[in-house]
Amino acid sequence: MFSRRHPFLFFILALSSIFFATILGISTLIFIGTRDSEFNMGEKVGVVDVSGIITDSKEIVHNIKEHRDDEAIKAIVLRIDSPGGAVGPSQEIYREIRKTIGKKKIIASMGTVAASGGYYIAAATDGIMANPGTITGSIGVIIGFTNFEEILQKIGLYPVVVKSGKYKDIGSPVRKMTEKERKLLQAFVDNTHMQFVNAVSKGRKMEIAKVKEIADGRIFTGEMAKNLGLVDRLGNIEDAIEWAGRIGGIKGKISAVYSKKADSSFFDYFIESSAKKLASRVINPEFYASYILTPPL
């Protein structure tokens, strides 16, 4: 009856239903047919993604723990594409990795960039694999300030500050930094830097003196880092998954399970993963341009 009264609307609804059913069917086949599908049976390698600037550790720590507690997962790959970030979250991830390597093997796989805080967490793993052109290193700490005092004076603005102690407004952009304040901040940076050096020394089993020689903030390619002992092998993420699976005791075919976002439902994860796989089969760009931001550790 509805089709007779509104033939055009009925046609649109029917066509839309067929379209969405087709997309869902293709996505399901792609999702199930790929190696990182959660429907794969047998022993697996869990992959934890660390991408972007490291400002929070909660989701990454959660994913590491989830893979550690899953008996079907025999090893973990930490896929790092990060220029670094904040000290605290990097240290929390580092500690969770160190707590895990006694139970399961963890391999770091470096993508485009794994520098500063990105290298900090990689150093905690059982082994590091990078691409020859991966940007890594940047073992250092930086704090930057900008002074607007002269600009404010030119436009007639004079800030008034009320503080509880002489160092409470240290780094203020409205006045010059004193020599005592500079020394205080330098001591702070030096202490944090030594924490970084010690973490690399412990994780990589390198002498502190050797780490100090290259811990001056410089960056390296993956190939350079391997020659310096900061990286173990050269290869892509598939090579890292294979490596992790074998040292984790997997004899046959290795399946990879990628962590889904902690704040998303399984349906969201399903749709997002399927869409990415579908796009990867349709889109084949000739090249990508990469822009690198290296923030403080």
Residues near 216 by beta carbon (within 8 Å), at least 6 away in sequence: 139, 140
User: Superfamily assignment of 37-276 in CATH?
Assistant: 2-enoyl-CoA Hydratase; Chain A, domain 1 (3.90.226.10)
Q: Is the pLDDT of residue 285 over 90?
A: no
| Domain layout of the chain by residue ranges | 37-276
pLDDT digits (tens, 9 = 90+) for 198-256: 999 999 999 999 999 999 999 999 999 999 999 999 999 999 999 999 999 999 888 89
Helical spans, DSSP H, in the chain? 2-5, 7-33, 58-69, 87-100, 117-122, 149-154, 179-204, 208-214, 222-228, 237-247, 266-282
256 CB-side CA count, 13 A? 19
Q: Give the separation between CA 84 and CA 233, rounded to whole angstroms.
A: 21
What are residue 250's phi and psi, to 5 degrees?
-80, 125
Per-residue DSSP letters for 37-77? Answer: -TT--S-EEEEEEEES-B---HHHHHHHHHHHH-TTEEEEE
Give residue 143's pLDDT: 86
Give the model's pLDDT for residue 25: 62
Residue type (1 letter), 207: E
| Active-site option among 37, 90, 109, 116 | 116
Cross-strand partners of 115 = 137
Q: Is 168 a catalytic residue?
A: yes
Specify the pLDDT at position 157: 86
The residue assigned the tokens 């002992």 is 229
Among 109-113, 215-219, 238-242, 283-287, the range scoring the smallest mean pLDDT is: 283-287
pLDDT at 209: 96
Q: Which of 15-19, 72-76, 97-101, 190-194 has the lowest mean pLDDT?
A: 15-19
Query: Which amino acid does the sequence have at 79?
Result: R
- Given pLDDT bands bounded at 50, 70 and 90, which one contains residue 295? very low
pLDDT bracket for residue 292 (50, 70, 90): very low
The CA–CA distances, whole Å, from 204 to 89, 119, 172, 230, 236 equal 20, 11, 38, 7, 20
Question: Which pLDDT band, with edges at 50, 70 and 90, does 291 fall under?
Answer: very low
- In the prediction, which pLDDT does 85 show? 92
For residue 132, which of 232, 204, 224 has the smallest C-alpha distance? 224
Q: What three-state secondary structure class fits 98?
A: helix
- The length of the chain in residues reads 297
Cα four-point dihedral sign 5, 9, 12, 15: negative
Residue-level pLDDT at 290: 31
Residue 134 is encoded by which pair of tokens?
A: 């991966």
Give 205-221 pLDDT, tens digit per residue.
Answer: 999 999 999 999 999 99
From residue 130, alpha-carbon distances to 30, 188, 198, 233 in Å are 28, 31, 22, 7
Q: Which of 58, 65, 166, 168 is catalytic?
A: 168
How remote is the C-alpha of 242 from its chain's centroid? 20
Tell me which residue of 26, 116, 130 sits closest to 77, measured CA to CA: 130
Which pLDDT tens digit goes with each residue over 74-98?
A: 999 999 999 999 999 999 999 999 9
Gap between the Cα atoms of 97 and 78, Å rounded: 9
Alpha-carbon distance of 269 to 261, in angstroms, equals 7
Q: Which residues pair with 49 in a beta bridge?
A: 79
**In this predicted model, what pLDDT tens digit does every residue of 133-165 receive, in sequence order?**
999 999 999 888 888 888 888 898 888 889 999
What confidence tens digit (pLDDT) does each residue in 40-82 have?
A: 556 899 999 999 999 999 999 999 999 999 999 999 999 999 9
pLDDT of residue 42: 65
- Asked if pLDDT for residue 99 goes beyond 80, the answer is yes
Helices 7-33/266-282 angle, 10° precision: 90
**What is the Cα Rg of the chain in Å?**
25
Choice between 115 and 169, residue whose per-residue pLDDT is larger? 115
Q: How far apart are CA 256 and CA 262, in angstroms?
A: 18
Residue 116 designated active-site:
yes
What DSSP element (H or E) covers 107? strand 105-115
